Amino acid sequence: MPRHSSGILLVTTDSVPGRSVERTLGLVSGSSAQMLGVGKSFTAGLGQLLVGGDVPDFTALMEDARLVALARLKQKAAAMGANAVVGLRLTTSDLSQAVAEVCAYGTAVRLSERDSH
């Protein structure tokens, strides 16, 4: 199971096989709004209009925003005493032509170490 450096297990499922929820701690979220430089935004947008396809600057921007949002979510979950976040979801939104936000949210829980069955 994927574990991140914070020790917080992140899963999109509502449960973790072989583990039981000892305590539900509540909703936890983390977000990040990232801005692409004006010159890059114009160049990337123009290039996409002309040829279509992937826009590497925007792809990198969204990846950075996702990593920051997940790091903030894990930090908040750890502060709540969680060792996992279940039901993890990610949403994105454009705040403007050059600003994008990623929000990560889920339920912070305390999982058992291992179920005996």
61-106 pLDDT, tens per residue? 889 999 999 999 999 999 999 999 999 999 998 777 778 899 999 9
Cα Rg, the chain, nearest whole Å: 18
**CA–CA distance, 99 with 90 (Å, rounded to integer):** 17
**Tokens of residue 107, six digits:** 């339920």
pLDDT, tens digit, for every residue of 38-60?
555 545 555 555 566 777 777 88
Q: What pLDDT is attached to residue 60?
A: 83
- For 9-111, the fitting CATH number among 3.40.50.720, 3.40.50.2300, 3.30.110.70, 3.40.50.12160 is 3.30.110.70
Q: What pLDDT is attached to residue 5?
A: 47
The average pLDDT across 7-31 equals 96
